[in-house]
Amino acid sequence: MKIKTVGKVIFILFGFLSACNPATHPDAKLAKQLEDSRYLRFTMNPYLEDAGLTRWYEKETLESRSLPLASDFDALRATGPGKLHIDREVTISGNGSVCLDFPTSLAKKSSSNRAYATAEVIRPLDREDISDYNRFSVWIYVEAPGFYTVFAGFALYNAGEKIMPVPGRFEGQHYENVYPGKWQRVVWEIPDLYRDCVTGFGVSIMLPGSPVGASDSMSLYIDDMRIEKVEAENSRGFALRQNAMAYSHSGYRTGARKQAVVQNVKSTFFKVYNEKGKLAYKGRGQTQENGFTVLDFSSLNKSGFYTVSIDGVCSKPFPIGNQAYLATAWRTLNFFYAQRCGYDQPGIHQECHLDVFCFHPDGRSLSVAGGWHDAADLTQGLANTVESGIAMLELAETVKDKDQILYERLLEEARWGLNWTMRTRFGDGYRNGGLIIGIWTHNIRGDKDDMQSLARKDPWDNFMGASYCAEAVPHFETIDPVFARWCRNTAVEDFNFANEAMEERLAGNATQTAVSSFVVDAAALAMVTSMRLYRIAHEQFYLDRAAFYASIVMNCQQLEKRADWLIPLRGFFYETPEKARTLAYFHRSQEHLMIQGLAMLLSDAPNHADAPKWKEACMAYSDYLHDISNVMEPYGILPAAVYQVGNTDYSSIYHEGPRDRGAPSLEEYNAQVKNGVKLSETFYLRRFPVAYQFRGFHAILQGKAKAAFILSRLLKDNELRNIATRQMEYIVGFNPFAMSTIYGDGYDYPPLYGAFSGDVTGAVPVGIQTFENDDEPYMPMQNNCTYKEIWVHTTARMMWLVAELLRDGHVPE
């Protein structure tokens, strides 16, 4: 009894000393999630106490003004299908709500395969200047029998000089995942929105169709609408959130650089405490420009959970050692499991899209249900499926013989994607490439919600398919030779289809063009795929093809230093061997492929006649990464690309909706370029990509980070490893918003645009974006596509970065 009391006293004392609030350790949280989900037989639940939304709900409201609904019913406007009425029974305010009853579909499907229509209620305002308010708040309740989850939209209508929502763009609209049968409060801070002439606020739901067994109508109840004033979250720029610390919520591996950043603290003296609240490290932070202080505790290598404290600013617990990023690995895997299509996924959806078919030009057809929904909508495509599966296999490779449960679960999920990839091909080079799907369907062929894609014979698709299947062979060869044989045969066949088509394309005889408009990344994919085939077949033919494609890739690179630039750079790539335009990605990114292929060649054929050239190309890209790595201190994230004023082609950029609304212009391109870091009269280094409608840039950082990891191993360059790791850290907390951007992973994570999937633990969004033509981070509370949309492309890339981090950084304990 006495001993227990002493223990308690000591605990309180250390708790006081640490000045950081002790919380449940992240490993205990992961263990519980794994147990509750039975190692992903069910989807994981997030810890809502760690969510940004939980903190936002608790903010002090400085001013609040009601926007009457039921009590001013005649003033309201309803648009789209549905009937609006007052409901006195279902109400959170006690004064009655307004309710919109509407069907889930119309007689005819939209040609875009997206929602049938939007049912909306607008609370009008009389062209008011509401700049004194910075938050919109409302309560909603949805009745939707048979639906696990729906999503509601909110819009600010401004008729001033700047129109809101911005025509053809995503600013001015906010979305929330809504769970039927309970009241839910929506808070949306709007400090960045133009609101000088507001004509109203809208609340809406898109008609999503109904999954099998669900109701064909819904009711949306709306109550207690307000505009409020609060201390708004920081949403733009490099300044760090007040009283917050930027650090890696996923932790730090043993031997890795370990840093955190604070701003405007009075003392630079910091302490690191272990999980018992005992002092584990103390040091002085290094001051930098703009009031930043960098805290470095790299020499702390003892495995465990820690908190950092400086001048009253505290981190939450994070791991050092082998636990670092382990939770991120499991949670990103959870995301894919949750995204399964054609699968009964309790809590998310019924078996879906069994009536979506792909047609061969000769009339044959096959079902494309399966694989993973690619984002917040229900789109399904080959490229994203392949990349996701490869990420799982790469992570599986690194945890093999170290974590058998994770290894087997990764293989199981990768196999789900492999099955889809191999059964959505016709065997003659034609494959299902992909299809935009934005509605639930009834699984009955011949009714109004049928959708179909047209098979295509495309070298990009076939190289992708070949890459995935080849990567799978060694994993399945011993445990399931029958399945491994199918993978191997598919890899060989698809490679041949792709290689022949690519040769025709390069000879200028192509009848089919590749999806990628850039020669450099098409050749890079061909190079990497050739090497993957070489590794399973050991035939000289594949090595020769890889070397051939490598020569094209290298012809697209800037090898000489641009000594005429203010930052003399070399090593970056151009779109084509003609070098007419620098390579820049803004949404998807394939920037790792060039280095990945060259590194595979150097590893497998170090004595090849071209090996010195491959090495020189890798050295040049390494120089590029080093030379741009300190442009955004203290965050250390890598700038996007070099751009040239007036030199762009946006004619093929995908744009949602009519092209005359919000489409790109040369004026907008040039304005963005000139906000970058000046290199010369016409060349600029943009910190973030030039982008228009689609914004959010995690993939751009992740592509470069992958290349940096590969080069760090190849060139034995530890600094490149630090650079690569920092790009991951930025995604999980080392950013100005001090938030993990991954839903349910780390701390202060925001709600994401999950739409048809709801809130999914482990979902990585498209990424932190930019505001208008600015060149600095922008992460508003406004939840919308594309920046906050959950996405397999970025989640898969997080997974393959974790694989890189674990590959040679795993220290046995």
Query: Applying CB under 5 A, which residues contact Zn ion?
Result: 341, 352-353
Residue 344 vs 539, nearer CB to Zn ion: 344
Residues 6 or more apart from 431 whose CB is under 8 A from it?
382, 424, 425, 455, 456, 457, 458, 461, 462, 465, 494
Residue 373 vs 686, nearer CB to Zn ion: 373
Other residues' Cβ atoms within 10 Å of the Cβ of residue 716: 9
Residue 354 beta carbon to Zn ion: minimum distance, rounded to whole angstroms: 8
Tokens standing for residue 125: 């305002």
Residue 766 beta carbon to Zn ion: minimum distance, rounded to whole angstroms: 20
d(CA 501, CA 205): 45
Residues 201 and 156: beta-carbon distance below 8 Å: yes
Residue 212 vs 631, nearer CB to Zn ion: 212
Residue 186 vs 341, nearer CB to Zn ion: 341
Residue 81 beta carbon to Zn ion: minimum distance, rounded to whole angstroms: 24
Residue 339 beta carbon to Zn ion: minimum distance, rounded to whole angstroms: 9
Residue 671 beta carbon to Zn ion: minimum distance, rounded to whole angstroms: 40
Residue 272 vs 451, nearer CB to Zn ion: 451
Residue 310 vs 368, nearer CB to Zn ion: 368
d(CA 741, CA 764): 7
Residue 452 beta carbon to Zn ion: minimum distance, rounded to whole angstroms: 15
d(CA 623, CA 602): 18
Residue 352 beta carbon to Zn ion: minimum distance, rounded to whole angstroms: 3
Residue 109 vs 353, nearer CB to Zn ion: 353
Residue 453 beta carbon to Zn ion: minimum distance, rounded to whole angstroms: 13
At 791, which helix (H) or strand (E)? none
According to DSSP, the residues that pair with 576 across neighbouring strands are none
Residue 763 beta carbon to Zn ion: minimum distance, rounded to whole angstroms: 16
Residues 6 or more apart from 12 whose CB is under 8 A from it?
none
Query: What does the H/E/C string look like for 610-664?
Result: CHHHHHHHHHHHHHHHHHHCCCCCCCCCCCCEEEECCCCCCCCCCCCCCCCCCCC
Residue 719 beta carbon to Zn ion: minimum distance, rounded to whole angstroms: 44
At 476, which helix (H) or strand (E)? helix 459-476
Tokens standing for residue 146: 């048979």
Read off the amino acid at residue 174.
H
Residue 451 beta carbon to Zn ion: minimum distance, rounded to whole angstroms: 11
Tokens standing for residue 381: 């495509």
Residues 6 or more apart from 234 whose CB is under 8 A from it?
240, 241, 242, 736, 737
- CA nearest neighbour of 465 among 435, 498, 437: 498
End-to-end distance of the chain based on CA atoms, in angstroms? 35
Read off the amino acid at residue 462.
N
Residue 380 beta carbon to Zn ion: minimum distance, rounded to whole angstroms: 7
Residue 804 beta carbon to Zn ion: minimum distance, rounded to whole angstroms: 31
Residue 365 vs 367, nearer CB to Zn ion: 367
- CA nearest neighbour of 780 among 136, 189, 270: 189
- CA 345 vs CA 40, 43, 332, 638: distances in Å: 11, 8, 17, 38
Tokens standing for residue 284: 């002085």
Residues 621 and 549: beta-carbon distance below 8 Å: no
Residue 338 vs 595, nearer CB to Zn ion: 338
Q: Which residue has tokens 């002790």?
A: 22
Residue 439 vs 742, nearer CB to Zn ion: 439
* DSSP strand pairing (356-359 vs 451-454): parallel
Residue 370 vs 809, nearer CB to Zn ion: 370
Residue 115 vs 393, nearer CB to Zn ion: 115
d(CA 423, CA 416): 11
How buried is residue 87: exposed, middle or buried, by Cβ count under 10 Å (0-12/13-18/19+)?
A: middle
Angle ∠(782,785,788) on CA atoms, nearest 5: 65
Residue 683 vs 791, nearer CB to Zn ion: 791
